[in-house]
Amino acid sequence: MKYLIYMMILIAPMRSMLIFDFTNQSNIQDWQVIDDGVMGGKSSGTFKLNDEGFGVFSGLVSLENNGGFSSVRYRFEKIKVNEYQKISIKLRGDGKSYQFRIKTNSGDNYSYITTFSTSGEWQEIEIPLKDMYPSFRGRKLDQPHFSANYMEEIGFLIGNKKAEKFKLLIDKIALK
């Protein structure tokens, strides 16, 4: 019986894969903020660790100079995702809506995105990978939803078409 249980554990698919787990010792230098300043806008976002060890994406979205977004992204070595169904994110937002974004290849111009709302409390957001649709500069592309075998970039974006302060605390991001 022990042998059967051991074999089942070995051949059973992985239940989850951690992409990033924020702690006080996390190295966040590969997380990069990109604001609408790349297009002349005036929004300003930051990304840091707070005293509790959570990733904090915060700042101000400005509509000046046709601006309107702030984002943070994390690039990593390609990971195989076809064994997983969804992304799970433990976070605490500020009651605002955010986008979660992934890229199969970091050099792609477009991202696969979904929008989620935050409650102001700690939440576990679960995003089915198959529901993420391709988008470029705020426009949905006429291409299939995410169905790739790999990914190498994730990110968050706020761009609700209004000037606003924002703050998103992130605890962990995993594939399930």
C-alpha–C-alpha distance, residues 173 and 73, integer Å = 13
Mean pLDDT rounded to a whole number for the chain: 92
Mean pLDDT of all residues in 152-165: 97
* Structural domains in the chain, sorted by start: 15-175 (2.60.120.430)
pLDDT of residue 14: 52
Longest dimension (CA), the chain: 68
Name the pTM for this structure: 0.90
* Ramachandran sector of residue 36 (left: φ over 0; alpha: ψ -120 to 50; beta: rest): alpha
Closest CA to 73 of 55, 96, 91, 97: 55
pLDDT of residue 15: 82
C-alpha–C-alpha distance, residues 154 and 108, integer Å = 12
Distance of CA 29 to the CA centre of its chain: 16
**Radius of gyration (Cα) for the chain, nearest Å?**
17
User: Tens digit of pLDDT for each residue in 33-73?
Assistant: 999 988 889 999 999 999 999 999 999 999 999 999 999 99
C-alpha–C-alpha distance, residues 33 and 151, integer Å = 19
- What are 91's two structure tokens? 């976070």
Mean pLDDT of all residues in 95-111: 96
